[in-house]
Amino acid sequence: MDLDRARVAIDRTLAEVLDAGLRDAPYQVSEPIRYAVLAPGKRVRPLLVLAAHAAVADTAAHEPGPALLRLACAVELVHAYSLIHDDLPCMDDDDLRRGRPTVHVEFGVRIAILAGAALMPLAVELVGRSALEVGLNDGTAARLILILTAASGGGGMVGGQLLDLAAEGRVVDEVELERIHCGKTAGLIRAACLIGAISAGGSDDAVARAGRYGLSLGLAFQVVDDILDVTGTPQSMGKAGGRDAVLRKATFPTLVGVAGARRRARELLGAALAEVAALPGAAKLDDIASLVVERDR
């Protein structure tokens, strides 16, 4: 599996999924959803679904099929929903995302809320339908739905965002900070890895390893995000930097400094790689982990 070709396939599949899923939706909702989902992105989460599947099934040399691509895209729909809502004025109040005006700036706050809300049921429907197309039984399809919704709800992204908001202006310790990061970022990345491993028919040990890899990588992803908010430029990141300082966010650079945060990201990278070293086709998981930690946007 070539990662660049996989990204192209993911983008194509996202467009096809939206064409089918939004066929009956009013354009006032479908247009902002397309604007948000089809904006240029790293596609880390769907790539992780594909790479975890390949790691367990040992099919890294093969390109993913259409049904597996649709399953992977379900996780990207949830991620897009989270970005729309994170950017709202009542949340992190961002005007730029991926180099373009955020959805609420382009379409208005009410439309942005509705567009974000519409993506979650679309993602759940896509997981259920795609799991069956991949050849999984009803019980396994239900398991994947439970994993995705748990990572997205009160014990996952929604709860993590709430804890993130509650920590603004406060001094937090590393334990509390990682709890916030696990909810708002790492949980969905872990879910992507679990979905990939389970859909490949992985053993309990392989699935557990993929999940621990995802959690460590998800924490590293957020640590690097926090570093880039301090060190990155709007041109490289596609959004304004320095927002964490303005909002007085709890971050690793604030807690331990940029150098300390970089050390923590490298520690988490090592932990992630160690978890999947025993999987037969883990090369692409290794590549994605390195890209996540070494990125400049």
Specify the CATH architecture of the domain 3-294: Orthogonal Bundle (1.10)
| Ranges of the chain whose pLDDT falls below 50 | none
Summarize pLDDT for 218-232 with one digit per residue, the tens: 999 999 999 998 986
* Long-range contacts from 36-40, C-beta under 8 angstroms, 24+ separation: 36/80, 36/83, 36/84, 36/103, 36/115, 36/119, 37/76, 37/77, 37/80, 37/119, 38/11, 38/14, 39/97, 39/98, 39/100, 40/98, 40/99
Res 233: pLDDT: 62
The DSSP line for 48-60 is HHHHHHHHHHT-T
Token digits of residue 17 = 């999924």
Local structure of residue 238 (DSSP, 8 states) = S
Q: How many CB atoms lie within 10 A of CB 158?
A: 15
Res 235: pLDDT: 62
- 130 bridge partner residues: none
Q: Contact at 8 Å (CB) between 217 and 272?
A: yes
Res 231: pLDDT: 86
Q: State the Cα–Cα distance between residues 37 and 90, nearest whole angstrom.
A: 21
User: How far from each other are the two terminal CA atoms of the chain, in whole angstroms?
Assistant: 23
Local structure of residue 39 (DSSP, 8 states) = S
The secondary structure element, H or E, covering residue 97 is strand 96-97
The secondary structure element, H or E, covering residue 169 is none
Which residue in 2, 81, 12, 90 sits closest to 47, CA to CA?
2
Res 287: pLDDT: 95
Q: Where are the domains of the chain?
A: 3-294
Res 285: pLDDT: 97
Q: State the Cα–Cα distance between residues 170 and 249, nearest whole angstrom.
A: 8
Res 237: pLDDT: 56
Q: How many CB atoms lie within 10 A of CB 235?
A: 9
Residue 104 makes CB contacts below 8 A (sequence gap 6+) with 84, 87, 88, 89, 111, 112
